[in-house]
A and B are shown apart, each in its own frame.
Chain A
Amino acid sequence: MNKQKKGMLIGLLIVTLLLPYLIQNEFYLHVLTSVLVYAGLASSWNILGGFAGQLSLGHTAFFGIGAYTSTLLYVYLGISPWIGMLVGGFLAVIVSFITLYPSFRLRGVFFAMVTISFGEVIRILFVYFRNKTTIPYGVTINYEPSFTNMIFDGPMGYFYVSFVYLLIILVISWKVKNSRLGFFLNALKENDEAAQALGVPTSASKFKALAISAFFTAIGGTILVQNILYIEPESAFSTSISTELALISIIGGIGTVAGPVIGAIILIPLGESLRALFSGSVQGLHLVLYGVLLMVVVLKNPNGIMGFISSFNKKRKKKREVQLEEVPDVRG
């Protein structure tokens, strides 16, 4: 990374950190927090879907597992969501290993289909087993603000928790992308036979990506539920969460570090404002709009908005090189 880029990133970080002080409106701050959480969730999705090229539409299962684990541990056993969050993360990794690991032989659409059913099965299993216990359909977390309870008496606290969450995932994303694992995943995605011939460990690499992805999706689940303080199976295990994470990544730029963040910055405010505008009378309108946006982006540039940016940069670089070459001619 060059100096200019580094400076820009640090500037962006500081501005983001100061945003809650600049924006006093609670609704805007809420939207901003959503952007951060969803950017983090989509980045987690991107590690499997983008870096490893295994398109998952079942991430809602990891999300729900994370959200439910921390909530139930907190409400029934009084365990801090900070600990519950980690437990949920590891649980998601274990579930991912049992269910998705064997399906890695499948690629593209076939893997995506398996993951859809995986998400649904987990939801149905959860609803079925809940009936056998005394846990109510919807679980409310009592509003007792404190840091240990991960409940805050204003939007500021949630903003900073989400900020740290996103930051951690971005650092991990960047590290993975620029590590041996990143190279291996990329090679496997492009040509797995050629990669195997070069000694690339297929299953181990893909499982690492899956584990990181599942773990951080579950953590995002905890953070989001702590923000709402209410959870029910239909929303925690809803297929639309999976689709949303995939859409954010694809529109922003699948397989890039910044793509999911850009996608979230564009899509989440759009969805939130539509939801506020129609106040739930037209359900799923934001998904319709996402769909339209997806079509436009994919038709124009399959690499998403990041694809636009990098092709623009290349053109500019070329232009500069041409200009430099022309200089001697002018003098001569």
Chain B
Amino acid sequence: MLEVNNLVKSFGGLQVTKKVSFEVKKGEIFGIIGPNGAGKTTMFNQISGFIKPDSGSITFKGNSIEKRSPKDICKLGIGRTFQIAQPFPKMSVLENVMVGSLLRTKSINQAREKAKEVLDFVQLNVPYDTPSSNLTISDRKRLEVAKALATEPELILLDEVMAGLNQTGVKEFINLIFELKKRGTSVLIIEHIMEAMMTLSDRILVLNYGEEVLTGKPQEVANNPKVIEAYLGDEIHA
């Protein structure tokens, strides 16, 4: 469904993505992990069109998208969340999600119904007219996911949606993501909470300093000395 090939991106002298390639299959939950500064979010920004890669290609459903605008990529069916939730602060929770659902319909009423449906799906249990600036961290994260889901994506990019949540919140989110998978939505997820990544992901890509360390099943990744090295450092230096 999504193919990333030999992607390269530098900011000035710093190479943040070094020839990274991977593929997300339809209906798959694909995780990206790596230490801080490994280039995970930059990868997301390139897939969603906010940053243009220097070279390499990104293909989604057979369309090459590395040069498209965020808006066009969203229309093609890739939704994304932001690491720091980005609500429209002066709008209500419902209106926030309606901005997303209006991508697929012109009718305000239809958009409203769709938005309510999505809000119920992500279990954002506050009144629809709550100002989005009044939400707690965990509700903000839910709203962030709801906005992206309202655009009816076939692939959703989740950037640390569980960061800052308590145990219950994390569990609820894990169930939510499994529910998404059941509906046939592919998920590309960045997360630091290993427990969640191990349960959720079908496959995981490990990045370090912009380079692919390895891609594999959660068990393979967890037992690989290279991954442990990337996180904890080399034994000799330690």
Which A residues are within 8 Å of any B CB, using their own CB?
178-180, 183-184, 186-187, 190-191, 193-202
Contacts and interface: CB of A to CB of B under 8 A. Distances in A.
A190 B89 contact: yes
A187 B147 CA distance: 12
A180 B88 contact: no
Contacts of A199: 70-71, 74-75, 100, 103, 151
B71 A193 contact: no
Interface string B119-143: 0000000000000000000000000
Contacts, number: 75
Interface of B: 48, 50, 69-71, 74-75, 79-80, 82, 86-91, 95, 98-100, 102-103, 106, 108, 111, 147-148, 150-151
B70 A179 contact: no
Given A183-B98, A199-B71, A194 B88 contact: yes
B99 A187 contact: yes
B28 to A, nearest CB: 22
A184 B74 CA distance: 15
B99 A201 contact: no
B91 A186 contact: yes
A202 B71 CA distance: 8
A197 B88 contact: no
Contacts of B100: 198-199
Contact of B99 (A178, A183, A202): A183
Contact of A190 (B48, B79, B90, B151): B90
Binding site secondary structure of chain A = helix
Contact of A179 (B82, B99, B108, B151): B108
A183 B89 CA distance: 13
B108 A191 contact: no
Interface centre among A178, A190, A201 (most CB of B within 10 A): A190
Nearest to A179: B108
B108 A198 contact: no
A184 to B, nearest CB: 7
Given A183-B95, A186-B88, A197 B103 contact: no
A197 B91 contact: no
18 contacts: A180-B102, A180-B106, A180-B111, A183-B95, A183-B99, A184-B99, A184-B102, A186-B99, A187-B91, A190-B88, A190-B89, A193-B86, A196-B69, A197-B82, A198-B79, A198-B148, A199-B71, A199-B103
Interface centre among A196, A197, A201 (most CB of B within 10 A): A197
B50 A200 contact: no
A198 B151 contact: yes
A276 B98 CA distance: 50
Contacts of B48: 197
A190 B99 CA distance: 12
B71 A180 contact: no
B89 A198 contact: no
A325 to B, nearest CB: 16
A241 to B, nearest CB: 29
Contacts of B88: 186-187, 190-191, 194-195
Residue among A178, A180, A187, A198 with most chain B CB within 10 A: A198
Contacts of B99: 183-184, 186-187, 195, 198, 200
A197 B89 contact: no
Contacts of A178: 108
Nearest to B95: A183
Contacts of A201: 71
Contacts of A193: 50, 82, 86
A24 B199 CA distance: 81
Given A180-B111, A193-B86, 11 more contacts: A180-B102, A180-B106, A184-B99, A186-B90, A191-B86, A191-B89, A193-B82, A196-B69, A198-B147, A198-B151, A202-B71
A198 B74 contact: yes
Contacts of B89: 190-191
A186 B87 CA distance: 12
A202 B69 CA distance: 11
A179 B151 CA distance: 17
Contacts of B90: 186, 190
